[in-house]
Structure formats: C-alpha cells, structure tokens
C-alpha cells in the first residue's frame, strides 16, 4: 500500500476520505473494544483506530502490534468524538478508522523511548543512532537544516552568486589551526590535508573573475573541542569582488532575513543595529555580545586613581582598568557566599586573579574591600552606578583584555543564571570597525 498522505497532513477537511498512511507505531492503547494507535512518520503523528465493528479480523490482528513496528494502513478519516480532540496535535480533530493494514516490519523493544526529553546516556543514543534519529526533536533539526540550506541557495543564486565546489584533499597551507592529514597511497610518506576552510580556492576564484562564489561546505580543524566548534563543521562560505562594506552588510542582512522567513516562518526587521568594536568591548567585554539583556560593564577606573586598595591601585598604575557589573535589587537574587566564590573561580578561567564584590544593604556596604575605600570613593561609586539597597556590585581589575574577557563571560553566565535570556528572542547586531592588528603579549609584538 502506497501512502497518500503524511501522518501530520490530515485535518477536518479530509473527513470522509479514504487514505493510506505509512509509519511507525509510537504508542498503542487497548481499551477493550476499541484499539488506538499513534502512528508516527517524519512529519508528525496521527491517531488510528481499530474497531471490531468495522472488521473483527483486522481488529484481532492489531492486538499483536508493538512499539516501533512499521505499518501501512488504509482507512477513512473521521471526526473525533465530542470532547476527545487533542489541541496539541495538528491532527487532533480527526482520527482514521482502519479497514486494512499490513505489517511492513516488526521491531524488538527499543532500548529507550522514541520521544523527546529522554533521560538516556549519549553513548547509548549514539550506539542506536538510527533510533535516536527517529525522535521528533532530531527530525525537526534535520528538516530545519534542509530549509536553511535551501533558503541560502535560493537567495544567493538570486543575487548572482555561483555555487562552486572546492576540493577536500589538498596541500597543507599555513592557517590558524592544525590540519587533519590523510596518507596518500600513491605517494608513500606524503599526505593530503583536509582544508580548514576553502580560503585558498575562493581567492583563486576571485582572481579568475568569477566575482561571486558560495558553497555550503565542510571544514576540518585538528584542534581541541570548544562549545561552538567540533573537528568537522559546516559553514556557509562565500566570497565576492567589487563590493564595499555597505553592500556586504545589506547582502548578509537579506540572507539572514530570508533564512528566518523560509526556515522558521518568522519576519526579522532590517537593518540590524550597529556598534563599533570599541563600544562592544567597553559595554560587554566581548566582540560578539548577547544583546538580549542588560548587566552591561561599567568602567570606574577614574574613581580609584588614588585608592588605598592595592588591587585597584596596581591595576590603574599598570595602565589597566577597573570595571563593574551591577546586579540590581530588582532582580531579587540574593547571592550566597558560596555562589560568589563559585563566580570568582569562574572568572579565573579567563585569566583574572579574583573578583571583588560589594553587597549593598539598607545602611551598610558588606564586603572585605569596603574598609579600604574613602568616603569620597564610596560616594562617587554610588553616584556613578546609582546604587540602591539590595544591589550587588562585582569588580574586575587587571589588564584591559583580562578584565573584558573575564567580566564579559561572567555577564553571559549571569544572564543565564538569572533567567534574563529569552531563547526565542533574536537581537542581531553588527559589530564593525575591528582593529586590524592586536598586540601579542607572548610574542611581544
């Protein structure tokens, strides 16, 4: 039996039609007389019903059905009984009364439930990857990826770009990370390199006059794992000639808007806001800031130019900076001493030697460092930060790069801890005017 519809495609407009579905048994519920099965395919779920009044033989055979068996079923679409609708399903208004079915394949009991939010080790999921990929969340991810790629190809093609494939096996070139090397069978002792990106090839294409190139391409880097990087990853890679900064920005904003429209059915407002690299580092400490919440960094170095607190004094004397993050009382979060100690350990990951803090109570500033502050310093700090009772002030004092890195990452950690980040919100921003060169402390140049 060849399917006529995906499981998720049926609704009230199909009532009375005879249809054929193919899919996997997600759940089976035997109510004595009636037997209900949720049939699942990549698009979603449809409830099918085996009724002994329609065909006793079909009903008896359905008693053997188990989870993950693969079926082809034929039946009539009918409206669900009054009060039995399921608003959580696209097919929640209807069900299919089955008159005929075929078992295409049986299955052993799965090692874990084929559903989202399962408490199963990654090792077990990877061992049974073909089962893991049946889960709705992963299938939605694959479908989303497809839509992103299709939107990208269509948009760039419409804007004059050519999709050109570049080689995977090439000669090693000096770039940032180590290459993965592949032995060459025909040339003993010699190796191919897997490209970190198509940099060399896309530059050749520009010199050759192709003008606009793109590809959705694999890149390989033999380096330690990071949160946003793995040994092989896919990127949208493009190169163009004869365009300026404004042209590139407009082109990329259009691409992102197109992807969101096609892949997520959401509309983005363009143009995106812009800030300079210097402003991004001053306000957020990072060159890729999360703009969905506040807790911006504030510099207070000038307040402590003559301080008696040695850590702050040394930072200013060595041409470093003193910056703070103020966690306002309105967030109603009372950090324990252990939590503050944990945050101190966190900033050490980014080169900071520690983290000073002040808790503001009604008539008292609680902190080991307050005793070193003059009244003028306290008043200036209070005025600058508009301090109120219940606020918590976190300090970083060191070289500018260390302070920015430590407090910038601390800010994003606090945003997650305090529930300030709306994962559904998209706040795109252009960071422009990056410096061309940066001083390397290790190389001393």
Strand pairing class (44-50; 94-105): parallel
How many percent of the chain have pLDDT more than 70? 100
What is the C-alpha separation between 415 and 417, in angstroms, rounded? 6
Q: Is the pLDDT of residue 322 over 90?
A: yes
Task: Say yes or no to pLDDT of 202 above 90.
Answer: yes
Is the pLDDT confidence value at 295 over 90? yes
Mean pLDDT over 186-205 rounds to 92
Task: State the pLDDT at residue 350.
Answer: 94
Q: Supply 314's token pair.
A: 């040394």
Q: Which residue has the higher pLDDT, 444 or 261?
A: 261
Confidence band of 174 (pLDDT split at 50, 70, 90): confident
The distance in angstroms from the start CA to the end CA of the chain is 72
Helix (H, G, I), strand (E, B) or coil at 67: coil
Domain edges within the chain: 7-105, 140-264, 277-432
Residue whose token pair is 């990329």 = 252
pLDDT digits (tens, 9 = 90+) for 355-368: 999 999 887 899 99
At residue 234 the predicted structure's pLDDT band, cuts being 50, 70 and 90, is very high
Cis peptide before 225 (omega within 30 of 0): no
Instruction: State the pLDDT at residue 362.
Output: 81
Query: What's 140-264's CATH class?
Result: alpha beta
Its pTM stands at: 0.83
CA distance 395 to 204: 49
**What is the distance between the alpha carbons of residues 298 and 151, in angstroms, rounded to a whole number?**
41
Give the list of residues 6+ apart from residue 143 with CB closer than 8 angstroms, or none. 42
Looking at residue 163, what is its pLDDT? Answer: 97
Q: Residue 230's pLDDT band (boundaries 50, 70, 90)?
A: confident
What are the pLDDT digits (tens) for 242-288?
A: 999 999 999 999 999 999 999 889 999 999 999 999 999 999 999 99
Where are the strands (E) in 166-309, listed by range?
180-183, 191-194, 212-220, 232-240, 274-276, 298-299
- Smallest Cα–Cα separation from 400: which of 322, 318, 320? 320
- When the pLDDT of each residue in the chain is averaged and rounded to a whole number, the result is 93
Instruction: Please answer whether residues 402 and 319 qualify as being in contact, where contact means their C-beta atoms are separated by less than 8 angstroms.
Output: no
Both structure tokens of 397: 């004092």
Q: Which of 271, 257, 303 has its CA nearest to residue 397?
A: 303
- Mean pLDDT for the stretch of residues 62-88: 93
How would residue 399 be classed by pLDDT, with cut points 50, 70 and 90?
very high
Q: Determine the 3-state secondary structure of 310 from DSSP.
A: helix
User: Could you give the maximum distance between any two Cα atoms of the chain, in Å?
Assistant: 93
Q: Domain 7-105 has what CATH class?
A: mainly beta
β-pairing, 70-79 with 18-30?
A: antiparallel
pLDDT band with cut points at 50, 70 and 90 for residue 437: confident
Enter the CATH code of domain 277-432.
3.30.1360.30
* Residues 6+ away with beta carbon under 8 Å from 368: 356
Q: What pLDDT shows up at residue 443?
A: 74
Joined together, the tokens standing for residue 33 give 């007389």
**pLDDT in the model for residue 445:** 63
**pLDDT the model gives residue 135:** 94
pLDDT score recorded for residue 348: 95
Q: Where are the alpha helices (DSSP H) in 30-135?
A: 56-62, 122-127, 129-132
Decide if pLDDT at 104 tops 90.
yes
Q: Vertex 322, ends 317 and 324: CA angle to 5°?
A: 170
Scan for tokens 């000096």, then name that residue. 174
Contact 83, 49 (CB under 8 A): no
């Amino acid at each position: 039996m060849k399917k006529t519809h995906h499981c998720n495609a049926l609704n009230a407009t199909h009532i009375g039609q005879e249809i054929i579905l193919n899919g996997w048994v997600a759940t089976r519920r035997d109510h004595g007389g009636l037997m209900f099965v949720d049939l699942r395919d990549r698009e979603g779920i449809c409830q099918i019903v085996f009724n002994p009044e329609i065909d006793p033989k079909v009903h008896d055979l359905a008693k053997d059905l188990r989870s993950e068996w693969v079926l082809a079923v034929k039946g009539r679409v009918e409206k669900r009984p009054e009060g039995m609708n399921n608003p959580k399903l696209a097919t929640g208004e209807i069900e299919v009364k089955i008159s005929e079915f075929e078992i295409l394949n049986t299955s052993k009991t799965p090692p874990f439930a084929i559903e989202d939010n399962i408490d199963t080790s990654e090792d077990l999921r990877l061992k049974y990857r073909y089962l893991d990929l049946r889960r709705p969340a992963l299938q939605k991810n694959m479908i989303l990826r497809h839509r992103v790629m299709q939107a990208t190809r269509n948009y760039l093609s419409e804007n004059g770009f050519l999709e050109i494939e570049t080689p995977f096996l090439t000669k090693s070139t000096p770039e940032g990370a180590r290459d993965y090397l592949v032995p060459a069978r025909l040339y003993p002792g010699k190796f191919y390199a897997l490209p970190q990106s198509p940099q060399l090839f896309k530059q050749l294409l520009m010199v050759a006059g192709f003008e606009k190139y793109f590809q959705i391409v694999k890149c390989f880097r033999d380096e330690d794992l990071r949160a946003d990087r793995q040994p092989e990853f896919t990127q949208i890679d493009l190169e163009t000639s004869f365009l300026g900064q404004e042209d590139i920005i407009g082109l990329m904003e259009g691409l992102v808007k197109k992807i969101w429209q096609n892949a997520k059915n959401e509309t983005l407002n363009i143009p995106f806001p812009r800030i300079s690299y210097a402003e991004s580092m001053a306000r957020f400490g990072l060159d890729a800031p999360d703009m969905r919440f506040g807790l911006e960094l504030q510099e207070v170095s000038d307040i402590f130019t003559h301080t008696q607190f040695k850590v702050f004094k040394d930072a200013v004397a060595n041409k470093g900076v003193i910056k703070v993050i103020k966690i306002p009382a309105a967030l109603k979060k009372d950090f324990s001493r252990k939590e503050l100690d944990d945050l101190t350990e966190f900033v050490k990951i980014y080169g900071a030697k520690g983290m000073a803090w002040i808790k503001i109570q009604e008539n008292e500033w609680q902190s080991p460092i307050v005793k070193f502050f003059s009244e003028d310093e306290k008043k200036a700090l209070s005025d600058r930060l508009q301090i109120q009772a219940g606020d918590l002030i976190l300090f970083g004092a060191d070289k500018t790069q260390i302070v920015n890195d430590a407090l910038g990452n601390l800010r994003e950690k606090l945003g997650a801890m305090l529930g300030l980040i709306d994962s559904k919100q998209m706040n795109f921003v252009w960071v422009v005017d990056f410096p061309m060169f940066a001083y390397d402390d290790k190389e001393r140049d």
